Amino acid sequence: MRVLTHLCCGPCGIMALRRLLAAGHEVTGFFFNPNIHPLAEYLRRREGAAAVCRRLRAPLLAADALPRWEQDWEEEGRAALAAYPQPPEIAPCASPRTTRPPPSGSLPPAVDPRFWLRLMAGREAERCPLCQGIRLAVTVRIALKRGFEAFSSSLLYSRHQDHEGIRRTAESLAASSGLRFIYEDWRLFWQEGVDLSRAWGIYRQQYCGCLYSEYDRYARDGGKAWGG
């Protein structure tokens, strides 16, 4: 089966891709993660995902390299918002520069944090299901456009995220799209993935992706990152 597999980073992609390939699927990786900030971190993780795909001889589609019209993911973002209460009204910014859409010819929309931050503003408490849902929904959209039969996501490898919530969202996207969702609990192969990522020299991140998660990660550390 031709499976488009959403990749959140290199280390999480290793066991996802290996298990799908071992099951006989024809697998393409799809790096779509507008939640990874700042841009330098995004590029490190993108290179990690690319390195894993090269090792496993799986092609990689990077969302930021798709044509611009395929990178327009705000529609999925807005649809996902329907499930959440409206945030309190946010006063418009006085500076017109920050409310204008990014100029054409700038960096690709897939890496422009303004889209992501605008969707999350006022909904920070529910940001994770929204963030995961958008990434899965865009994976399904690209899979349909490009003739894949099935989809999956390396998010299912994470021990830190809401595994059952991710599974439910993917199942509901499969039901509405007609694509097959390939599920396996890749957390069972956690240590094997960690060992391979170290052996292969794949970049291993220190926080989930967004600036909120970076703050939380170092706050949990008791401020050691500050030398405190």
Applying CB under 6 A, the residues found at the interface with ligand SF4 are 35, 127-128, 131-132, 208-210, 212-213
Output 2 or 163, the one with its CB closest to ligand SF4.
163
Rounded to a whole number of angstroms, the minimum distance from the CB of residue 103 to ligand SF4 is 26
Output 131 or 150, the one with its CB closest to ligand SF4.
131
CA angle 204, 110, 15 (to 5 degrees): 35
Rounded to a whole number of angstroms, the minimum distance from the CB of residue 8 to ligand SF4 is 9
Output 128 or 170, the one with its CB closest to ligand SF4.
128
Q: Which residues pair with 152 in a beta bridge?
A: 5
Rounded to a whole number of angstroms, the minimum distance from the CB of residue 88 to ligand SF4 is 19
Output 2 or 123, the one with its CB closest to ligand SF4.
123
Output 51 or 210, the one with its CB closest to ligand SF4.
210
Rounded to a whole number of angstroms, the minimum distance from the CB of residue 116 to ligand SF4 is 9
Rounded to a whole number of angstroms, the minimum distance from the CB of residue 58 to ligand SF4 is 24
Q: How far apart are CA 156 and CA 59, in angstroms?
A: 20
8 A C-beta contact, residue 1 and residue 25: yes
Contacts for 89 with CB less than 8 Å, ≥ 6 apart: none
Find where tokens 């496993």 sit.
Answer: 56
Output 9 or 58, the one with its CB closest to ligand SF4.
9
Rounded to a whole number of angstroms, the minimum distance from the CB of residue 201 to ligand SF4 is 24
Q: How far apart are CA 146 and CA 140, in angstroms?
A: 10
Torsion angles phi and psi, residue 148, rounded to 5: -80, 155
Where are the alpha helices (H) located in the chain, listed in sequence order?
10-22, 39-56, 74-81, 96-99, 113-120, 127-145, 163-177, 190-199, 211-220
